[in-house]
Amino acid sequence: MIYCIRKLLKKWGNAVIIAPEMKDKNKFIVVSFILYLLAFLPAPIFSEEGQAQSGNKGYLAGGPKETEPSPIVDEEFWTRPLEYYIGTGDVIEISVWDISELSKEITVRPDGKISYPLIGEVDVYGLSMSQLDDELTKRFSVYIRHPQVTAILKKFEGKSVFVLGEVRSPGIYKYGGQMRLIEVISAAGGFTLNAAPRSVLVIRGDIVRNKNPQLIKIDAASIYSKARLGNNILLQPNDIIFVSRSFIANATDFFTKISTPLTTYLLTKTILNP
């Protein structure tokens, strides 16, 4: 089409220049119409290969490429340890290898501290179990050469929630009084770069015994961007907050995909009992 227009312009080009005085007004009308069309035709955009785009993609160069759907979470997530963060009233079993006198169960006091033989008071509130291992090992090292210290959570008291998926510090978080969604996500270090904040799923109910828990899908991003405070819901004890790395279109279908690995994960990495 463009080639034909160029031929016409070459043939009648002089007519455009002398249009006001030209005698053949038909030529003037035809050329004017062609120029009018040229002014409103969109120019095709070319891809990197230099070929004009066609088909349903129209004039979007290259068009969006089809990609594999994003995984629900990092594939390594299910193999990571699930950290528990110590709170008041928790019962912890501490043992030092080959020294039975230093092995005992102890309860975290209301001030978040424990008193232990040889090392005295230790502030343990908010520490993960691995951090407690490191802290006790460091303190016992002052008195014992190369101590092998193990700390095991025997019982946890009070209210707690599970924060899993694409947050910086997944784990079990305790709270007193009331806890809202954004507070616990902040306590878990916030979203990772791979997170989909528009698709936060709160799973409410005992998923070990009850295969049909309440599912609450929340657009957490809107709490920040649009001040939709109604989405910043109050949490209940044992709620599971799951942050996906892909958009959740249907909460029930999503839960069906993760229910088995999630239940196994919680049973093997916590002290939950069926």
pLDDT tier at 42 (50, 70, 90 boundaries)? very low
Alpha carbon of residue 187 to chain centroid: 15
How large is the average pLDDT for residues 220-235? 90
Confidence category of residue 239, pLDDT binned at 50, 70, 90: very high
Residue in 99, 87, 139 with CA at minimum distance from that of residue 116: 139
Sketch out the chain's domains with CATH numbers: 1-40 (no CATH), 91-155 (3.30.1950.10), 158-269 (3.10.560.10)
Q: Give the span between the Cα atoms of 120 and 129, in whole angstroms.
A: 19
Q: Give the mean model confidence (pLDDT) for residues 187-202.
A: 92
User: Do 136 and 122 contact (CB within 8 A), yes or no?
Assistant: yes
Tell me the per-residue pLDDT of 93-141, one tens digit each, with 9 for 90 and over.
Answer: 999 998 888 889 999 998 999 999 989 999 998 898 889 999 999 999 9
**Is 89 in contact with 107 (CB distance < 8 Å)?**
yes
pLDDT at 95: 92
What's the mean pLDDT in 174-200? 91
Distance CA 166, CA 75 (A): 11
The mean pLDDT of 173-193, rounded to a whole number, is 90
Name the packing angle between helices 2-17 and 25-40 (round to 10°). 130
The pLDDT score that the predictor gives to residue 242 is: 94
Cα angle value 267/218/222 (rounded, 5°)? 140
| pLDDT average, residue stretch 185-202 | 93
